[in-house]
Structure formats: structure tokens, C-alpha cells
Amino acid sequence: MKTIQLLFVSALFSCLFFYVNAQRQSVSLNKEWDFKGASLWEESIEQVVDLPHTWNTEDAAEGYIYFRGEGIYTKNYFVDRTLKGKRFFLKFEGVQTVANVSINGVHLGEHRGGYSAFTFEITKNVKFGEDNYIEVKVDNSETKDVLPLGGDFNIYGGICRPVQLIITEEVCITPLDFASPGVYLFQNNITKEKAEVAVVTKISNASASNSNIELEVIITDAVGKIVHQGKKDILVNAGETKDTNHSVVISKPHLWNGLKDPYLYSVQILVKEGRKIIDEITQPLGLRYFHTDPEKGFFLNGEHLKIKGVSRHQDFAKVGSALSEKHHRLDMKLISEMGANGIRLAHYQHSEFFYALSDSLGMTVWAEIPFVGSNQDGYSDSDEFRKNSNQQLQELIRQNFNHPSILFWGIYNEIGMDNDPVLTAIIDDLQKLAKVEDPTRNTVGASFVRRSEDPLHKIPEMIAWNQYYGWYYTKPHKLGDFLDQIHEEEPGYKIGVSEYGAGGSVMHHEEKIRRPFPIFHKWHPEEYQTTVHEGNWRVINDRDYIWGSYIWNMFDFGSHFRREGDAIGMNDKGMVSYDRKTKKDVFFFYKANWSPKPVIHLTNSRFKIRKRDKIKVKVYSNLSDVELFVNGKSEGSKRGENATLVWEDIELQEGNNIVKAVGQRNGKTYTDTVIWMYEKNLILNVVIYFLRWFIKIFVVLLLAVVFWMLRLLVKKQVRSRKKLFVIVILTLAILFLLAIVVGQILGASLGINFFEYSLI
């Protein structure tokens, strides 16, 4: 009896061992690569690195024209003899920008595009029982045929995302279909009563003989209960990759409903030969339906949803674009805390891990290709450029097809200012390709062209605008006039706001809020950033036809040529600092408006030393009847519009002042406290005020008049040397005035008024 039991246990373990060995294996190859490259400071670098990795963390961050060239990554990987008969695939999740991959001296191929995954099969090149030498040559030099050609962000060189070795049986779900999972979940007809899904699986047979397999699809709900199980027998010929279609119907489906209820089913696809499982893939399934109305905005599962979104660049202080999972989790945590329900992942394909995070948390996602530029700099009229743009769109869609969080495919950003037939044709081709690849989602474009009738606006199914009212031009509330005009002229447009915002430095503060000069200027006061967002959000929130909006940007991000705010090489329009350690005041403005959690925040907490005895105090809060206390004395309670409460003419005493805001919700008290010091120094205050605000264009006008009058006075009475001096000064003043006038005329064509800025 014991012998029989031992044999049974032994057989069971043998079956389990065989079952495990028969499964697909994914082996991380992120550790210990030998890297050889160069930098601005050294002609050559040799070091051992872990992936993800970029060689531009220092030079780009310091504002240099960063190193763009070649780096070489090499690694030895031992393959055991027991794995003979398996298939081997190298999968790279992102290499910037052009990658050439070799193994054991054999060139496998080239991939052009830094943000999308790619896979090479290496089965025929593997050596068993010894090390295999992997070499990846990476080049992030500027190109004219690989997207992106330009943009206000750094193009970091390196193997910026993880690498894995996939090991399968000869018959498997192919990893070679644009590096996709090889499984596509088409949500053909979704309602609250019934969900019809087509599970398309691509089966590859690399063996020398035909193979009869069984494909099994198992769908389980969030607690593991099976809601569908179906099987199908399939013949896959030798050397063939075959599409299989499995129809699924789920009654009374539990819908994926954004932040409210991000419910996910799990789809398990099993490939069997007899009773043996030879491959398996699991994919998320979030069932949902949605549409956008030109008048009423966006609807998810039949319910109106205003998309309150942020844009995100995938870079981080000290690591550039080589983010690990901990960086992605931190970013998502901050986005969620602020209360956003949507993310525009700009301006390129982001990490697959971040899309998965969005699925599980209920974020709505706008995913896009790196077709980005300013004016006409973002494209070239060549067959190679068209091929690459199509390739990157196919990679974006196929690799991320099953993520329920993705609702829109972005096909261009800030490209084109004139009616260019070549550009129009390129974007029209992308639109057609997107609908062939995925008929279930809408396309969207992000434009900065203000003419409503521009042909580029009519190509995608939805259109949004990058408009910086209050920052680069006019006043924040003027955004409403612009959007209303577009809506009136083109009532069929589905209008969104793809970018809006302003720069803000947590180091810069002022009592009297004045508009700073936005470009290449060091003074970017935090107070003005909040002013712009308050005005812009009021406009957006009041208009139902705006289906969604995306703040530019959630985080400060690297842009090497920027010389503004309190740092070089940085775009400071973020709600949170580049290192994610500092939340700006504007972060709490949106948190108070968007988040259901209690918020009370005294603004200007970093503006510690005050020069005036009477100040304005602003609080962002979603609590009722917030009361302000200054040095223990109540200044009264207020309720504010858009979660913004303001107390005017609050008196400060000389020295320290303890300011406290108090609010309640459901019987619980919430507070925020700051300490400001009032430093009385009238003479210094007057001097600073003069330097900050009175050295203006009208002073130059006054000086020109004075010099003109002096010239008239001395015309007949002063000798030639002094007369020459006066004439030179007058001429310079007039030339400066002419430059200002010309600049004002040119600026007016772009909606810019230089007289609105503080130039010091």
C-alpha cells in the first residue's frame, strides 16, 4: 500500500514538474549589463549598469545640449542544455532611439523608435550549455525619419525600460506580433445587460509538422469565479501563424466604471496539446462602453463623466526616463491624491506597467504616439517617416489594446500651422490606420492652431486644444471666449482642452500678483501660477460641451533648453516638483476641487517673510464654513467658489504671525497652520517696489521724451561733442522704442501683449 502511495505521489510531482516546464517562462535580464558610451565630460565611459538605464541623467538635467550618440550594452546569459527544443525571444520594452540587436555575433535586426516595445526571436542563434553574448547598440542621435523629430522634452538615450527573455514551446501564442501579448479582446457590444467579446489569439507553429491544438478561454471575475469557459480545436500548419476567434457572451456584466468602480475580469488563454498545457497568457478585461457628444461631453457606461485630467511626462529627477516600478507607483499615487480621473500620457507611448496601474485604479487614459513638434518641425516628407509613424501607431495600439483604461488614441500634437497637403495626408493615413487597428476607440488630436476650420481638426474623431491663456497670452478667462467661438463655428466638433497651465516656482513669491514674462525669465512666482489655473478651471468647469481637460503638467519635467523659473533645463509648469517632494499650491487647488477627501490648505506657506502689514490670505478647501484665525483672533468664516476662499486686508503684527484655517466635515475638525513674519522696513520696501514695477516700458517712453526735449534745448547752444552724446542716447532710446513697437505688432498677431508682463 505504501509503495502504491509513494508511486502516486511521485507521479503527481512528475506531472506537476512537467506542467511547470511546459509553461511559458519570462526571465528578467535587467541586471549587470556592461555599458560603453560617452558623455559631454568624457570621451568614453565603461561601467556595469542595471536596467532601465539612460546616459543622459546628468547633462540633460543641467541644461546642456546633452550627448546624443551611440552607446553599447553587452551581457552574457547562460542557457541550460535542458531547454533544447524550446523557442527563445528577446523582448525590449523601450530603447531610445534606434536599437541594433545581436546575439553571438549574429545581427537580429534594427528597431527604430524609442518608446515602444519590440521582440526578436533568437531560437536559431542560442548556444546551449554555455554563455550567450547579447549586444545592443543604441543611438539617440537626431533623425529625420524616426518620431519624435522635436519637442519640448529630452530624448534620453539608452535601454530605458526593462528587458526579458521569453521561453516557449514550439507552438505558442506569438510574441512577434508587434511585441503585443498575441491576444486581443474586442469589446464589440457592451451594455449593462450583456457583454459580447471576441477573443482573438494568434497561434504560431514553428515546428516541422502540423499541430492539432485545443484553445481554451477561461474568464473569471474579480474574486476568481468562472463566468465563462469555452474550448475550440484548431489545426495550425507547420510554419504558420494563425488567428483564432473565440466569442464570449457575459450576462449582466460588472462594468469597469472609472474611479467609481474599476472592476476587472481576468481572461486566461490556454493552448493545449492533448491534456498538456503548452502555453498560457492572462489578460485584464474591463468591460465598458463610452461615447462623446459635441454638446454634452463625455459619457462612460451611459453616465456623464467630466474628464478632469493631467498630462504626464515619463521622467524623474536623477533617473531621467529610466523609471522603475517604484517611480511609476509614486506618480500614480500623487495623481490619485490630487483627485484626477484622467491622464494624458504625453507625448509618446509610456511604460506598460503604468497602463496596468491605470486599469486597476480606474484612470481614463489618452495614449498617443510621438508625432509632436512646433510649427513645421515635427515631420518630414519622406517614405521613411511615413513608415515609422505607421509602425509606432501600430505598436502603441497592439501592445496596449487590452487595457480598459485607454479610451482614446492620440495621433498628433502641436503639428502644423498652415494648410499643408503633405502633412494632412500623413495624418489622414494615421487616422485610417487607427480605425483599422482598433474600431472600438476614438482618435484624438491636440492642436494649437486657433483657426477652427483647419483641415487637421477635422481628421480625428475628437479634437482638443493646447492653449495657455493667462500665461503666454491675454488673460486666463479669455480661454472661455476662444472655446465658445470654436464651438459656435464648428458645432460638430467634440472639443477638449489638451493642455493649459503656467510655470510656477516654489522659491518665488510676491504680494501684488502681476503677470511674469513666461519664456527665458527667472521670475515665475507661485502665486501667479495659481491665478492662471483658477481662471482656466472656472472656464472649463462651466462648459458642459468640453468633454475633458488635461493640466500641463502633473510634474515638472526636463527640457534642456529651458532657462526660466528657479532652475535651468526644466519646464516648471508642474503641480509637483521634478523630484516629487514638493506639492505646489496649485496641487491643493485641484485637490480641493476634485478630491472627495477633506482638504484645507493655506496658500503661500513658503512666502515666509512679508513686507506689508496688510495682506490677502487665500485658502483652498472643500469644507464648509472655513474660519480663519490670525494670532488667535478670528477673522470670520467664509465659503468660496471653486473651493477658493479669500480674506482681504488681513493685518499682520511686526514679528511672527500664526495663521490658522479651521474647517469641519461630519463632526471632525481639520486645520492648516502657517507662520509668516512681517518685517517692517519702509525704505527697503519702496526701493524694491520701484525696481520690480516701475522700470517699465512707460519709463523708456518718458526718457525718450526727455532726451528729445534736451536735444531741442541744446541744438544751438551746445558744442558738437555734447550734442553728439545726446543724439546717441536719443537714437538708442528711439531704436529701443521701435523694437518694442515691432514686437508688440508681431505679438498681437499671436495674442501676446508685452505690456502685461513684469520684465524685471
User: Tens digit of pLDDT for each residue in 719-754?
Assistant: 565 666 667 766 776 777 677 677 667 766 655 555
Q: Are 284 and 292 in contact (CB under 8 A)?
A: no
pLDDT at 473: 87
- In the chain, DSSP finds a helix count (H) and a strand count (E) of 11, 43
SS3 content of the chain, % helix, strand, coil (to 5): 25, 35, 40
**546 CB-contact burial (10 Å; exposed 0-12 / middle 13-18 / buried 19+):** buried
CA 626 to chain centre: 35
Of 342, 399, 389, which is closest to residue 369 (Cα–Cα)?
A: 389
Query: Which 3 state secondary structure label does DSSP give 44?
Result: coil
Amino acid at position 96, single letter: Q
Pairwise CA distance, residues 289 & 195, whole Å = 10
Alpha carbons 87 and 103: distance in angstroms, whole number: 15
What is the DSSP secondary-structure string of 399-459?
HHTT-TTEEEEEEEES--SS--HHHHHHHHHHHHHHHHH-TTSEEEEEE----TT-GGGGS
The position carrying cell 491636440 is 446
How many residues comprise the chain? 760
Residue 229 has pLDDT above 80, yes or no: yes
Name 11's Cβ contacts closer than 8 Å, sequence gap at least 6.
Answer: none
Please report the pLDDT score of residue 755 as a whole number.
54
Closest CA to 623 of 668, 660, 575: 668
Q: Does residue 741 sit in helix, strand or coil?
A: helix
Q: How far apart are CA 724 and CA 710, in angstroms?
A: 12
For 411, phi and psi rounded to 5 degrees? -110, -10
| pLDDT tens, residue by residue, 158-173 | 999 999 999 999 999 9
Measured CA to CA in angstroms, residue 580 lies from 52, 327, 328, 556 at distances of 19, 9, 11, 9
Residue 448 has pLDDT above 60, yes or no: yes
Least confident of 154-158, 436-440, 593-597, 707-711: 707-711
- What is the mean predicted confidence (pLDDT) over 603-609? 96
**Average pLDDT value for residue range 292-314:** 98
Q: Which of 121, 368, 414, 534 is catalytic?
A: 414
What confidence tens digit (pLDDT) does each residue in 123-159 have?
999 999 999 999 999 999 999 999 999 889 999 999 9
List alpha helices for 617-719, DSSP H.
682-693, 697-714
Instruction: Look at residue 185 in the predicted model and tell me its pLDDT.
Output: 98
Question: What's the pTM value of the predicted model, to 2 decimals?
Answer: 0.90
User: Helix H segments across 201-342?
Assistant: 325-338
The 3-state DSSP class for residue 38 equals: coil
pLDDT score recorded for residue 742: 75
| Mean pLDDT across 361-387 | 89
Residue type, 637: S
Looking at residue 262, its pLDDT comes to 98
* DSSP assigned state of 503: -
Q: Is 371 helix (H, G, I), strand (E, B) or coil?
A: coil
- Which among 173, 308, 230, 210 is positioned nearest to 596, based on CA atoms? 308
Q: What is the pLDDT of residues 630-646, one digit of tens each?
A: 999 999 999 888 999 99
- Tell me what the mean pLDDT of segment 297-317 comes to: 98
Largest CA distance in the chain: 131
The pairing of beta strand 364-368 with beta strand 342-345: parallel
Q: Is the peptide bond before 421 cis (omega within 30 degrees of 0)?
A: no
**Sheet with 276-285, side-by-side order of all strands:** 226-236, 211-220, 265-273, 276-285
Are 327 and 361 spatial neighbours (Cβ–Cβ below 8 Å)? Answer: no
Active-site residue flag, 46: no
Distance (Å, whole) CA 562 – CA 63 = 7
Q: How much is the average pLDDT of 578-586?
A: 98
Q: Are 530 and 538 in contact (CB under 8 A)?
A: no
Grid cell locating 511: 504680494
Handedness of CA 700, 567, 527, 536 (dihedral sign): positive
pLDDT for residue 5 is more than 60: no
How far CA 17 is from CA of 13, 22, 86, 400, 673, in Å, comes to 6, 9, 16, 33, 62
Burial class (CB in 10 A: 0-12, 13-18, 19+), 81: exposed
Residue 698: HSE in the Cβ half-sphere, 13 Å Cα cutoff: 6
- 615 or 711: whose pLDDT is higher? 615
Cell reading at 725: 552724446
Whether pLDDT at 690 is above 70: no
The mean pLDDT of the chain is 91
Mean pLDDT throughout 665-688? 83
| Lowest mean per-residue pLDDT among 448-462, 607-621, 669-683, 742-756 | 742-756
Q: How confident is the model at residue 3 (pLDDT cuts 50, 70, 90)?
A: very low
Q: Which ranges in 195-324 belong to alpha helices (H)?
A: none
- pLDDT tens readout for residues 691-726: 554 445 556 566 666 666 665 655 555 556 566 666
As a whole number, mean pLDDT of residues 595-617 equals: 95
* Contact status, residue 616 vs residue 647, Cβ threshold 8 Å: yes
Quick one: pLDDT band at residue 416, thresholds 50, 70, 90? confident
CA-wise closest residue to 731 among 753, 710, 752, 758: 710
CB 364 within 8 A of CB 331: no
Q: What is the pLDDT of residue 756?
A: 54
pLDDT reported for residue 167: 98
DSSP 3-state assignment of 535?
A: helix
- Asked whether the beta carbons of 565 and 503 are under 8 A apart, the reply is yes
Quote the cell numbers at residue 554.
Answer: 502633473
Residue ranges of E strands in 599-696 = 600-602, 609-610, 614-621, 624-630, 633-638, 644-651, 655-665, 668-678
Q: Is the pLDDT of residue 760 over 70?
A: no
pLDDT of residue 680: 79
Give the torsion sign (CA, 345, 351, 354, 358): positive
User: Which cell numbers hold the place of 146?
Assistant: 524616426
Task: Report the percent of the chain where pLDDT is more than 70.
Answer: 87
Strand partners, 443: 409
* Nearest Cα to Cα of residue 424 among 465, 457, 378: 457
> For residue 695, what pLDDT is reported?
46
Contact 625, 636 (CB under 8 A): no
Side chain identity, residue 197: V
- Please give the Cα distance from 372 to 378 (Å, whole number): 5
Helix (H) or strand (E) holding 550: strand 548-551
Residue 515: all three cell numbers together: 503677470
Cell of residue 491, nine digits: 458645432
Q: Which residues contact 443 (CB under 8 A, 6 or more apart)?
A: 408, 409, 410, 411, 431, 434, 435, 460, 461, 462
CB 51, CB 163: distance < 8 Å: yes
Q: pLDDT category, 626, cuts 50, 70, 90?
A: very high
Which band of pLDDT confidence, cut at 50, 70 and 90, is reported for residue 491?
A: very high
The H or E element spanning position 724 is helix 720-749
HEC readout, 153-212: CCCCCECCCCEEEEEECCEEECCCCCCCCCEEEEEEEECCCEEEEEEEEEEEECCCCCEE
